[in-house]
Every structure is written in C-alpha cells, then in structure tokens.
A and B are shown apart, each in its own frame.
Chain A
C-alpha cells in the first residue's frame, strides 16, 4: 500500500522521512490500558460515577401539594460494589461467574443520602438503598477491575475476557452500540418533494424535539411537532421580540439574493396582520396543539403565555434562553433560514446525512442513564403521589416517606430493560427493541465481535443504498470488511481496532477559553456582522458561541492548548469553510482515534520514544500527555492531512497514521494477508470467524452454557498477524493448521467440498466437544408443598432401574460420567398435584406427608447419546432449588461437517479417505485435507495461497510467520526460505498417488493452512420421519426437526408434480400421507353429514363417504361458522 503516492512536490528534505521502527507497538500500548471494549466500559463508568449524580441533581427535590412544608431532597447518590442478598439485609460480595451459574443478576445497590421532613422534623438519612444497578463487567465498580490473572482465576473468570457486558438473570447481555444522527446540529436536506429544509433535533435532559425550517411556495415556515400549522418565519421572529424587519434581515443576511428570497415571507406578517410581539405570540399560541393538562390554577393558560413557554423551552430546546432574552434563539433560527436559502441556489450546502461526522454512537452508559432517569423520575412522582395522599390522613405514626421508597421500581426497570432489550421511555416517546442481545459465546472472536458491533437505527427492510454503503469518512473508525450479508448489510458495522468513543466533556471551561481567545459573544452584535468576510461563527456542540475574525489563530491556539493538556484531549475543533464556521465538539458518542502529530514534515514520535515504550519507560498515556499523539474525531480527521506512512509525509502533513492495519476490526484481524484478497471474501470470513469453534475462555470448563462448542486440540495459526496477537487469538484459538494439498481427488470434492484424511481424524483432527445444558427448578408452593426429586424406580424382580431411570444416581439426579440415551430421565422431579390452594396449614417447615405427587421428569432428547459432565445444585433468587446439568458430546468430523479457511472459503467434507489412499510426497507426508483448485480462480483469494506458502516456510524455519494486513512477510522472502530448506520455490511438491503408487503428473501446491471447524454439523441437522406427531388443529404433520416434523412437499414441488402429471403421487403426498379424513357428505344439500345422517335434511337417504384432507374439512366448517355455506356436489368417477 505505500509506494504509490510518495509525493513529488513540496517533499521535505530526505532525512526527515526516516522510518519509525516498530511504530505499531503503540497499538498494543493503546489496547493495554483499557482493552478492546474500552468504549463500553468508559461510557458505563461515566454514567455511574458522574452522570447519575447529574441526573439526581436535576431531580433533587420532591415537594408535596398537600403540605407546603414537606420536602425530600437528594443530597448524594452512589453506586456500590456488586453483592447478593442472603436472607434479610445480609449481603455478600459476589462474582460474575457465580451470577452466571446461579441465574442471578450481577448488580450493585444504588444508595442515596437524603434529607426530608417527618412531621415538622428535618431528618437526614444516608446510604438508603433505592434500587439495584446491573454492573458492567470490568467497569469501575466491578470486582474484576484491576485484578491480577491469579485473582481472576480464583474468581473463575477468564483474564482474556473483555468485559463490557452485563450478567442479568444468569445470561450475559450486551447493550449494542447504537448509531444515530447527531443531535443539536443543523442538517440541511432535501425532502421528498425536492424542496430544501433544515432540521434540528434538539435534545436536552428533559426535552426532545424536532424543529424544521421549510420552504413552501417561496415562503419560509417554521415547523414543529407542538404546532398545528407551520408558522411563517417572520412571525416567529416577531414572537421572539424582533419586530423590525431590518432586525430580522440583519440576522438572516443582507445580500441581495437573500433579501429577495425573504421578501415574500416578510410580507406574510402583514397579511396576517401581525405587527407586535404580542400579536405574534397570540398567533402562535392559537396554533399550538391543545394540551389536556391544565395549569396549576386549574385554568388553561392564555395563548400568549403558552406561546412564550413554547418558544423558551420546547422549540429549539437546546438553545439557551435566559430571562426571555431570545437573541440566541433568533440568531440560531436565522442561521437555519440562511442555510436553507443558500442550499436552494447552491446544492453543495445540502448536508450528507451519511457522513460519519454527523453521527453519534450511543453506548450502554447513555442508554442506561435514559432508563435510570425515567425510573428515578417515576419513583419521585410516585413518592409525591403517596405524600399527597397520606399527609392529609391523620395517623398514629407520622408520615415517613422513607417507608414508601420502593427498591424494586428502579431495579425492575433496569433489569427488565436489559434482559428484554426493550427500551421504552414514554417521556421521549422512545420505543426501541433489540437494544440488548445475548452475548454470543460461540467463539472468543464472536464474543469480541459482538462488543464492537454498531447497530444503526435505519429500517432493515428499506432498500436504500446510502446508509448501507461504505462512507469515506468511516476510514479508520469502522471496519470496512466486517458487516453481515443480507438485509442488515451495511447497517450493522464494527468498530476498528483503535477506535475510541468519546464521553461528554464539560462545556463551561471550553466556553471560557474560547472567549479568552477572542471569540466575541453574539449579544454585542446585531447579527449582520456574522456574514462579513473573514468572520467565522464559532459553535460549541451546535450552539453558537460567538464570532471571531481570526479563525485560523483560534484553531491553532485551541489545538495547542489541547496538546499540552489544558483542554480535554477528546474535544475537537475544525473549521467549515463553506459555512464560515468553526465547530467545537465536546459531546459524547463521537468516534475518534489516535494519530501521531507531524510538525514541519517531521513526526514528533521517533525511535527513541518507541524504545522507551518497549522497555516500559513510557506508556501510551505519556504519548498523549507529551503531545506526541492526539485523538482526532471524524470531523477533525477530515480537516487534517494524514500520511499513511513516513514516506508520504510532506510539509503540509499534519498527522501520521499509527499503524495502517488498525483500520480493520477485530474479526477482520483474523485474516492473514487480507490485502491480497478480493474484498467480499474478507467480509465472508468476518461472518464465519464467529461460527468457528475453538476455545471461548480460560474458564470454559466452569461454565454451564446452553450451548458451547469446543475444539479438543485447538492450535494457534502458523500465519499470524500483529492484530491477531493483540486480540489474544493465539491464546484462545479457534481452528487447526491442516496440511492442505490443492488438487482434485475422486470427484467428491466438487463445489468446495473437502477431502479429509481418516488417519488425521483418528489422531484428533477436527475433534470437538459439544456442551449443552439442562436445567430444572424445584419450587415451593404456598400450601407448604414443594417439588421433590425422587430416587430412581427399581424393578421388583431384577432390582435394576428401568431404561428411563438408568442414568439416575440414588438422589434422583443423573450422575456425572453417566451416558444418557434418548428419553432417559435426567432429573426425576415430582410435583404436588394440588398446589396453590391453601390446605390445612401444617407445621411450618414440615410438608404434608401424603400429598399426591405427579411425575414431571426432565428427560434427555437427542438421537445421539450424551455424557453427563457436571451437575450443579444451587439456589436462585427466589430461594428455589436450581439444578443445572451439563451434557457433553465428543464428535469426530464426518461427511457433511463444515470447515472453512480464514479467507471466506467454506466447504463441507465430501469424503473421508484412508491414509494409504491419500497422495504422498517425497518426504512421505500425506495431506490432512485435499482442497479442489477450482476454489481459487473465481474467488481470487490470493491471501490463502500466500498463507499456505508462508505457513510452509514457517514450519521449516520453526517460527510463526506474520501475514499482517498491508504488510507481513513478503512472498519473495518466503520463497527464499523454502529454497533454503530444499523445497520448491513455488511451494509445489512432487506427489505420488496413494492408490496406484505412480507419480502424479502435476506438481501439487501443498502446505499448512489454518482451518476452522464451523458449528454446522451433520449430526445436529440429520432428520427423517416416517410416522410421527401431527398438529392438533389441521392434523397435518408437524414442522421442524425439534418437533420430529415431516419434510414438506412445498408449492414448488407440488408444481413440478402437477406439470409432470403425477396425479396419484399428488394425492398420496398431499392427502394420504398428510391429513386424510373420511367425511360423510349429503348428496341432497351438499353439506357435511355426521355418521351417515345429514342433520340438515334429517335423512340418511343419500349420504356417501368420501376422503378429503382434514384441512379441507376444517375450511368448510370455518366457512360455515362465518355464514358461508360450501356445498359439495358428488359425481361418479366413471360418468
């Protein structure tokens, strides 16, 4: 990738192009601090440490209408460390693994300090628990943070596990990163009719609204949800107190073109006879949507007040209005109008919605804060209602509000949201589904891949290409390869390796600094000054800060201050020359990534720094603190000239890429030599790497998952990459190196099928373990009865257990090590027949001796036997017994099992061949696997060819080769090494046929390739049925393997039979083998008769029996129930 664009002009002196050796070492240093999922953890930390306090501060007081003296004030809030309750008020610290095993929620108490009145007393209480917060693993409040590997293993936790997810009711849940358009920014776009509009989605803590400036018939209007009609823009300005037309025009712009375009709109005012502010407010007030709620006085507010409220706090809610001074809001609206006017004549003013600088990513922290704020507000209103209701009552005990503070409201809201993934916040009319997903633990990669996934809000069904296609501004932030195929293509994205997502930074100091640097507040100006040449408007998070005449100096100084640490490193500043604006952003959710700063054609980082880094004298943070590296967000990145490597640096260059391979994501890091592959192949591999089985963590043997696939002998790949080391794939691999011969063999290898060597399989290649679990709860019922586990039955004569109970231990639970067959019992559970009804209460703790129990055994289903690996007996949250049984199967590869290399080349096993039939080379080596060469020409996976070559030379040299993206070992060097070791330079060897013993006429390209075994195995899919269950309603065979269903002769198959004319076959398939049914038909009335008697005609005179599908009979009856009479006319077949 590098040589192409070394510049010709203004190239700096030669010596400055020196290459920084091992510059990539900054990447591991970057990842060392927080790991791959730092964005989740950072965001959650910000929430529980800072934002939660802000939320409480904003809602700190509860007052009651009943008693003016009553108040409750939150002084402080704290999220503690995760624990579990054991009995009454006894808590114990817990570990995530315990929660996983026992189906608990890994959560910590939320405690508040409050001050309130009880009667006339003022009472202070501290550490009052108001709910429980699910804790993200490895966040600041998690027990796993900053623990050594030894401590982690003591807690049964894998040190390589990234964290960043929650454990809720025993399942691991990830809150996916959500992508949205950035809020509080003006977006100019074309609407469906092609006219230009400017949209601002304002969002503050308590309001969310959308304001539009639209153009209709040459006039400009303001449109808002809370307004019934569109308000002419001039009236809007007048309502804000800018009544003179000249004031309005000064703000919008006084160019001739603008004046002309505005003329009609200004006139609008006069035709509506609105001249003063009050008239304008009245005009708007009459057009607000009627609110059902009344003011505190019981009367609806006058329209003028309504309109004023609307203007201050609803329309453009994020623009501050102090003391009804609408200056800011007016300028802001004027700017919106101006943008629309500009965009009408100059289409380049229309914003690109897909541009990634206009996107913000919402993470676990911000989503949870929305949920928490909602729940907290609900708690407060509930308390207020209780106070209102209870204070007037006179009781013996004084009203104590603390007694009414429920813990479960907040707890349930959070737990329920995370466990279902439904984010419903009525206040914002927000209803989102699928926000959380169960963390996929198929392989380590699938788990990591899930943590970096970015979900877009677009509808999947819509056929649009814009949001789906790869935007150039995503460079380095999102992986270009990793996206699913099919309907979610391009909408689900993945973060690149070095991407960081910002959290909110306080605005106050930035405002001060910018004002000190010469930004003048708008209050001093009429507005016209904004549009003078050389005057730039300065924005902070979408709000206008002021104007400056020297924007270059402002930006330069701002960046200088940021580099020396005076301004937070994640605040970005960039000019927008078309808008004549300088944008400063400090909001959360921006994507950014670190770059080496280049000054005067020289990168600030040099080899001495790197040496210090590798010897441990410097950390990544030091590079940031010393101003050698800085974070750039998407917008600022697009204002910089970034060199890919040292050779490209010119005098104009501002930054240098840290390492080029970091533009790929976690899943794409798996592919060796991805830059040699056709791009869709890398995309396919990204999807397949998630299905590969291998290892999922050091604690995999302690887990009891619903489904877990492990490889028996996993191997680290021969051809690694730098990125692969960074994500620890070599420690938790998912695949094996197979010696592959690229040749055709036997014809069982067509269509990507693979040939496997039986001896290799015998020796353990591709062998895998499949773990499944089976669970059961033992409940206690209200009437002192409870579920029991009974010992196995013994047959009277032989004293042996019947077939069903053979796997059971004497305690009635299957014994570890036992092999269970289909339909054998795992837990011999019995349930009381009468439950719920409170019978005569016996002694507490003692069960009623002779309550009838019925058997409800948990039994094993599966055509292949399993082995009991482990049995866990514990209790869950509701103090009920919980029994989990881990079942294990060991599988060797068989014909039909799916394998894939790391280049999107999947294939099923076509044939398993004896070793002696396999071809062998001069060294006597038989390949483990034969792959058909037809897989190459159309797929163009040159990377795989190089992987094979590199792997072969690695074997001979006894080292791992590196196939890092945009780098890696070169083919020439590899060939050199092969020749050195007496192998052919092309990697092709002389082979003999194992069957005839004669030499093969072609040389065979052979060597090791890393192959993944995918989770799709024949054993899980094979299914057949001759007879079996039928659906109740239609009496047709059931569907699906799990219900032992039949194989459907579908519409298309039916069409084939019809066109062929196989009518008897059709009757046989569609009726006789499905739902044949004998019905009596009355020939007189044509309706169905019953057992030879027509109830309609009251006769049995001409009732005949015919055979029709049950579904047909059902249809007739359903039609009858709707007052439609289907009548059958029967005729003799021979007539």
Chain B
C-alpha cells in the first residue's frame, strides 16, 4: 500500500486503489490534519493531510465560484466623454474589487431594479479632465500638463443609501486598490456615472469571485534511490526548484541530499538527465494537499475558507434533506 503518485517520464501513475478501501470515519477524523504554513491578509497557504481529492476540490470550487462578494453590477451613464464606449466602461467598473463585506448584505431580488439599502451599495464617480492651470513651462509630463488625466478607482465615491450611513463607514466601502486605471482622459473629457453594487457569486460572473485563485497542489515526494555525488549532485540540484536538494560534503565527496521537498514545483527535469533519472524517485503524496488561497477582497483568506466550509455544510444539509424526502417517497410507493 502506497500513498505516492509516481511521476514517470511519460505520465502520472495513479496510486493504488486499495488505499481507499479501509476507510473509516473515525480514522479519518483522527488523522485529518490542517497546518497553516503562511497567512497574511491577502494570501494563505495551509496543508490539509488525509483528505480526499473530491472534498478538497469541493472547497476549491466553492471558493472560486460560490463564496459571495459585492461587485458593481449596474452603471448609469450620466456623461461619458472618454474614448471608452459605455459598455466597456461598465465592464471595467464591474471588475473593480470593493471593500464592502458581503456578509452584511443580501442578494438582490430578481427583477428589482432599484434595490434596497440591504442589498445595494450606491457609488458615484464624477471626474473631469482639465488643463493644469498651474503648469510650469517646460513640463511635459502628463501629470504636470493635465488634471485628472486618469480616472482611477479611488475616484469612486460611496453614496449612502437609506440607513447605510448609520451602519457603515465610508472607508469600508470603496475600492480595495486606489490605483486601478479605469480610463484615460484629455482636457475637455469627463466622466460622470452612478454605480450600484450588489452581492453575487463567481458562478454568475467572474467579477464576484472573491479569490485571485484558490488552488492546491499535492505535496511532492522526492527520494534518492542511490548516492549521487560530485558533478552529478550539482546537476541533480539544478533539476529541482531552488533549495530542494542540497549538496553536502561527506568524506571528501559532494553528496546530494533531499533538503525540502515541499517547495519543489515538480518540473520533472530530472527525466532529462539520462544518468540521474533512475537514481531518483519522484512523485506526490496523494492525500497531502498544499492549499493556497489568494483573496482579492477585504476578507482575509481564512475567513473565505470558513465561508466555503459553511456553504459546503449547507449543501450537504440540503442534500441530506433531499435524500430523506426521496426515501420517504420511496417508502410511500
């Protein structure tokens, strides 16, 4: 019984199937490990050990497409003198990530065109490009010559709607990055739009996806089957990502040792070295997932993951109810 997926030269050899057979819930509960490796406000890397790909993948999928966020959905053009057509501009607005916490809002009812203060955030943007009146002679940089030559995401101003003024602060509502270029302008051009953001999920449109990406990879497995020395050791080192293999001096010889398999990106370049390829066994541990979440909204990635677990639970509950209904139906019949 092996839990290694071997990476051969010509393809991946899946792990043996018997691995799944003696699975018990108890053993699973005991053995499942989650280790957080790296965690900051926008990116997180953690290991899940002892999980099935289907489950792990479900979290990934939910993170990408079902965790809700707020994004601009309706754009009302009042004046658009930029060179960018209305629809393109609206599309660009939609893709700007907003700070607003989606958990504080509800989904807007289908067919509702105006929305309420509980499901809609209103913004306004009004920028006009003019010649810089204080421009000094001989300065030809755009920022010297013109004012507002770029429409940036920081120009989007939140307009409180209903009770929102009491509930939220302005700094929590704008765009996450200040310097996203929406359009470029020249004197005489102006842009005045009203924007409405709603809650939505990534399945509907990628702009609602809360993650830059959520992904995982399997933990690499590298085993030296034979001593690799001197020149070959150096060559072996080159075949893997940096610091995966170290070369140590032992009794006058340089000997290669596996230092850190985790950071290897599995380029499999060792297969390109005829002398080396039989001395190394490379593969991946089939139930050790290195999960990476990159959040593009204000919620930290761990919160997003929790959210995804919640959604998963809800789905399971729904499925159980459906299942129960089905069994009842079967009984009746």
Q: Which of A59-105 contact B (CB under 8 A)?
A: none
Q: Is B14 an interface residue (CB 8 A)?
A: yes
Closest to A998 in B: B53
Q: How far is A985 from B77 in the complex, measured between Cα atoms in Å?
A: 51
**Contact with A712, one of B83, B88, B265, B266 (Cβ below 8 angstroms):** B88
| Across-interface contacts of B241 in A (CB, < 8 A) | 982
Q: Given the interface contacts A890-B88, A999-B5, A1000-B12, does A916 sit within 8 Å of B61 by beta carbon?
A: yes
SS class, residues of chain A in contact with chain B? loop
Q: How far is A762 from B87 in the complex, measured between Cα atoms in Å?
A: 13
Instruction: Give the one of B58, B209, B292 with max A CB within 10 A.
Output: B209
Pair A983/B85 contact, Cβ less than 8 Å: no
**Contact with A1003, one of B11, B58, B284, B294 (Cβ below 8 angstroms):** B11
Minimum CB–CB distance from B98 to chain A (whole Å) comes to: 16
Q: Given the interface contacts A759-B206, A764-B91, A817-B86, does A984 sit within 8 Å of B269 by beta carbon?
A: yes
**Contact with A999, one of B12, B65, B95 (Cβ below 8 angstroms):** B12
Pair B267/A979 contact, Cβ less than 8 Å: yes
| Across-interface contacts of A867 in B (CB, < 8 A) | 85-87
Minimum CB–CB distance from B132 to chain A (whole Å) comes to: 20
Minimum CB–CB distance from B48 to chain A (whole Å) comes to: 12
Q: Is B217 an interface residue (CB 8 A)?
A: yes
Q: How far is A947 from B203 in the complex, measured between Cα atoms in Å?
A: 33
Q: Given the interface contacts A996-B57, A1001-B11, does A890 sit within 8 Å of B85 by beta carbon?
A: yes
Pair B12/A762 contact, Cβ less than 8 Å: no
Chain B 228-248, CB-CB to A under 8 Å as 1, else 0, gives 000000000010011000000
Q: How far is A762 from B208 in the complex, measured between Cα atoms in Å?
A: 10
**Contact with B292, one of A767, A914, A924, A997 (Cβ below 8 angstroms):** A924
Compute the total of residue contacts between A and B using a CB distance below 8 Å.
110
Q: Is A224 an interface residue (CB 8 A)?
A: no
Pair B56/A916 contact, Cβ less than 8 Å: no
Pair B265/A979 contact, Cβ less than 8 Å: no
Pair B207/A762 contact, Cβ less than 8 Å: yes
Q: Is A922 an interface residue (CB 8 A)?
A: yes
Q: Which of A965-1023 contact B (CB under 8 A)?
A: 979, 982-985, 990, 992, 994-1003
Q: Which of B1-44 contact A (CB under 8 A)?
A: 5, 7, 11-14
Interface size of B as a range: 35 or more
Chain A 791-822, CB-CB to B under 8 Å as 1, else 0, gives 00000000000000000000000000100000
Pair B267/A982 contact, Cβ less than 8 Å: yes
Q: Which of B65-118 contact A (CB under 8 A)?
A: 65, 77, 80, 83, 85-88, 91, 95
Pair A915/B57 contact, Cβ less than 8 Å: no
| Across-interface contacts of A1000 in B (CB, < 8 A) | 12
SS class, residues of chain B in contact with chain A? mixed
Pair B11/A1002 contact, Cβ less than 8 Å: yes
Q: Is A152 an interface residue (CB 8 A)?
A: no
| Across-interface contacts of A762 in B (CB, < 8 A) | 205-207
Pair A915/B83 contact, Cβ less than 8 Å: no
Q: How far is A274 from B205 in the complex, measured between Cα atoms in Å?
A: 97
Q: Which of A883-920 contact B (CB under 8 A)?
A: 888, 890, 914-916, 920
Pair B53/A997 contact, Cβ less than 8 Å: yes
| Across-interface contacts of B11 in A (CB, < 8 A) | 1001-1003
| Across-interface contacts of B53 in A (CB, < 8 A) | 996-998
| Across-interface contacts of A769 in B (CB, < 8 A) | 85, 88
Q: Given the interface contacts A759-B206, A996-B57, A1001-B11, does A890 sit within 8 Å of B266 by beta carbon?
A: no
| Across-interface contacts of B217 in A (CB, < 8 A) | 922, 924, 992
Q: How far is A15 from B35 in the complex, measured between Cα atoms in Å?
A: 66
Q: How far is A997 from B217 in the complex, measured between Cα atoms in Å?
A: 10
**Contact with B64, one of A869, A915, A923 (Cβ below 8 angstroms):** A915
**Contact with B218, one of A890, A979, A999 (Cβ below 8 angstroms):** A999
Q: How far is A869 from B77 in the complex, measured between Cα atoms in Å?
A: 14
Q: How far is A996 from B216 in the complex, measured between Cα atoms in Å?
A: 13
Closest to A712 in B: B88
Q: How far is A922 from B202 in the complex, measured between Cα atoms in Å?
A: 22
Q: How far is A759 from B57 in the complex, measured between Cα atoms in Å?
A: 18
Pair A990/B85 contact, Cβ less than 8 Å: no
| Across-interface contacts of A301 in B (CB, < 8 A) | none
Minimum CB–CB distance from A808 to chain B (whole Å) comes to: 19
Q: Is B54 an interface residue (CB 8 A)?
A: yes
Q: Is B221 an interface residue (CB 8 A)?
A: no
Q: Is A758 an interface residue (CB 8 A)?
A: yes
Q: How far is A767 from B91 in the complex, measured between Cα atoms in Å?
A: 11
Pair A915/B267 contact, Cβ less than 8 Å: no
| Across-interface contacts of A923 in B (CB, < 8 A) | 215, 265
Pair B85/A759 contact, Cβ less than 8 Å: no
| Across-interface contacts of B209 in A (CB, < 8 A) | 759, 915
Interface residues of A, Cβ cutoff 8 Å to B: 701, 712, 758-759, 762-764, 767, 769, 817, 867, 869, 888, 890, 914-916, 920, 922-926, 979, 982-985, 990, 992, 994-1003
Q: Which 8 A-B pairs have the closest CB atoms?
A: A997-B57, A924-B215, A762-B206, A997-B53, A759-B206, A916-B61, A890-B87, A922-B217
12 A-B residue contacts at CB 8 Å?
A867-B87, A890-B88, A914-B65, A926-B213, A979-B269, A983-B265, A985-B267, A994-B57, A996-B53, A1001-B13, A1003-B11, A1003-B268
Interface residues of B, Cβ cutoff 8 Å to A: 5, 7, 11-14, 53-54, 56-58, 60-61, 64-65, 77, 80, 83, 85-88, 91, 95, 202-203, 205-207, 209, 213-218, 238, 241-242, 265-269, 272, 284, 292, 294
